[in-house]
Structure 1
Amino acid sequence: MKTLKKITLGFLLFFSINATAQETIIPEIKYADLEKYIELAKQNFPRAKSYQLRTESIKVGVTVASLSYLDIFNVSYFYRPGDRAVIDPVNPYNVNGVQFGVGVSLGGLLTKPFNVKKAKLDYEIAKLEQKDFELLLVNDVRIRYYDYIQQLSLLKLSSQIATDNKGVAESLRIRFEKGEITLDAYNQSRTMQFQSFQQKILAESTYLKSKDLLEQIIGVKLSEVK
């Protein structure tokens, strides 16, 4: 029983040493990389590009609405050959040569300013919606990056603990074969080794998922970011 307690205490010591080896992930955070990821997300994330194109489209609509003032004017001309008689019984105001006329749409003249104002307001709304989405996008990138760093750190810690426990278990196996420790003590070491390997595999899976989520939002593989 005393031997078992010593072995268990030894395992707890290994866990304690490794757990305190990295007490914080803050030193692992590289803000220069984070800014790169944010810019890549703005460039590559489909919804971000959609908002950008939508804003540009509405901006073009403002220009189109401003130029449409010309639509309220209707210019026409009438040509009468010079060899025809000047007097026209149908329209005595006709004269020989070319005659020009300008018509103005009263309805268009009254509605155009409101159409232009609406187009400008739509553009301002589009810019605000794009800005709002970018803020959400930036926050999402940060969350995914921090989670990625967290899972990477946990993976390193789990790998180190698994390696240490493997060494301890191997050492205890040799001692068991020499008859220096009991079967219960040896089995305890194998159980703790299995648990540490299990935690390592879980950490690997969680790390890969966090990496995929970060790459999804920035649109490129992390290995391709320079």
Structure 2
Amino acid sequence: MKTLLKITLACLIFLSVNAYSQETIIPEIKYADLEKYIELAKQNFPRAKSYQLRSDGVKIGITTASLSYLDIFNASYFYRPGDRAVLDPVNPYNVNGVQFGVGINLGNLLTKPFLVKKAKIDYELAKLEQKDFELLLVNDVKVRYYDYIQQLSLLKISSQMAQDNKGVAESLRLRFEKGEITLDAYNQSRINQFTSFQQKIQAESLYLKSKDLLEQIIGMKLSEVK
């Protein structure tokens, strides 16, 4: 009986080592998919959109500030019908008809170049902030993708271990019913089976969470990504 128990435990250890030795996440990483996820995050992630809109808005401010140079000049006109007497006969500049005038606001003339320069600086700052956020976003997508691949690989291992332990437990159950092994050996196989099923359920939960986090940042379901 002790020999059989040792053989059974050795089989379990072999299955565990074999399952883990065959798994590595490196071959599972698809960089083409990762690039797609990064581009989708830049397009769909709300904060990425807000940074883009802010940059576009500040850029429009440059054009607005440049066009505001026209505010420096104030044009006016005065019209007096020709059949009326002039306002001041002594003043030769008071004549009938239409009179035009142009005024220059010196304050605006002096401040406009600085306003345009400030608008350009604000745009450069907005672009730098957008670039900084994009770098953080790219890194976040990578972290979530690698975690997703890791949890997917662990789920495969846990599923295989649960299946192997189920087979061993079933085999030992038949042997126990035939009186070939002790109750302790059979109970140990049941404990191993329960533990492997528990680990599988936990792996499923972690996998689903990592999948949700990745889908959250790219803005769509992984099944919808082409």
TM-score by length of 2: 0.96
Once residues 133 and 197 of structure 2 are traced to their aligned partners in structure 1, the CA distance between those partners, rounded to angstroms, is 42
**Per-residue Cα deviation, 1:119-160 (whole angstroms, up to 9, x for no partner):** 000000000000000000000000000100000010011101
Corresponding position of 1:14: 15
Question: How far is 1:82 from its partner?
Answer: 1.4
Corresponding position of 2:136: 136
Q: 1:173 to 1:126 in 2, by over 3 A?
A: same
Question: How far is 1:182 from its partner?
Answer: 0.9
Once residues 22 and 115 of structure 2 are traced to their aligned partners in structure 1, the CA distance between those partners, rounded to angstroms, is 66
Unpaired runs of at least 5, structure 1: none
Corresponding position of 1:202: 202
**Per-residue Cα deviation, 1:73-98 (whole angstroms, up to 9, x for no partner):** 00000112111234624854111211
Corresponding position of 2:31: 31
Corresponding position of 2:121: 121
Corresponding position of 2:102: 102
* Residue pairs, 1:144-223, within 5 angstroms: 144-223=144-223
* Structure 1 runs (4+) greater than 3 angstroms displaced: 89-92
Instruction: Tell whether the 8 Å contact from 1:4 to 1:184 is kept in structure 2 after alignment.
Output: no
Aligned with 1:88: secondary structure? coil
| Alignment coverage as a number of residue pairs | 225
Once residues 135 and 74 of structure 1 are traced to their aligned partners in structure 2, the CA distance between those partners, rounded to angstroms, is 48
Aligned with 1:82: secondary structure? coil
Corresponding position of 1:56: 56
1:52 counterpart letter in structure 2: Q
Once residues 91 and 8 of structure 2 are traced to their aligned partners in structure 1, the CA distance between those partners, rounded to angstroms, is 119
1:19 counterpart letter in structure 2: Y
1:9 counterpart letter in structure 2: A
Instruction: Tell whether the 8 Å contact from 1:3 to 1:185 is kept in structure 2 after alignment.
Output: no
Once residues 62 and 166 of structure 1 are traced to their aligned partners in structure 2, the CA distance between those partners, rounded to angstroms, is 70
RMSD of Structure 2 on Structure 1 (CA): 1.2
Once residues 145 and 107 of structure 2 are traced to their aligned partners in structure 1, the CA distance between those partners, rounded to angstroms, is 56
TM-score by length of 1: 0.96
Unpaired runs of at least 5, structure 2: none
Question: How far is 1:3 from its partner?
Answer: 2.9
2:134 counterpart letter in structure 1: E
Corresponding position of 1:81: 81
